[in-house]
Amino acid sequence: AVAASARGMMLHIEPLNLTDNPGYFLIGQAMAHSIVEEAGMDNVGVQFDLYHAQMSEGFIADKVERFLAKSAYVQFAGVPGRHEPDDGEMNYEFLFGMLEDAGYDGWVGAEYRPRGETLAGLGWAKKYEILLTDLTRLATPLLPSGKGLLSEVPPSSRWPFSVPSSLASQRL
């Protein structure tokens, strides 16, 4: 954390669920937030993955109320199965309303395993005012693999939205 801070970098820790990640040590928002608090560094934050929080803890609305303000990033996927967020037990319209009501203005990202073709599975984004044309903007590579996140905020999105650069370069 100290070395990352010297380089102006932010670090995120992410609690996962044991169903998908047996043996993983960091389970639950409370544990993650206590680690960040103990680290006491401004450049260390918690990645609040709504999928993992629901899978490991449930009571997701309560977790949003308790931990959103201290979270560095919000991520989501369909539960169960980590597929597109357009079916399953999560009510994302309600949860995104909670983000809005709380004044959340940070990054929101979708990370999931598409049920079929990736581009065909992006239809859910229209409901949340994320236009597919927004996803065609150029991306800045961030990882050695060449994958990255959008370098600009799509103008029609409620929140900054991230997408793998491999998608951003494709015609939708």
Residues in Cβ contact with 172 at an 8 Å cutoff, skipping those fewer than 6 apart = 119, 122, 132, 133, 135, 136
Q: Is 111 annotated in the active site?
A: yes
- Residue pair 95/61 in contact (Cβ under 8 Å)? The answer is yes
**Under a CB-based contact definition with an 8 Å cutoff, are residues 129 and 138 in contact?**
no
Catalytic residue among 37, 111, 129, 152: 111
Catalytic residues: 14, 111
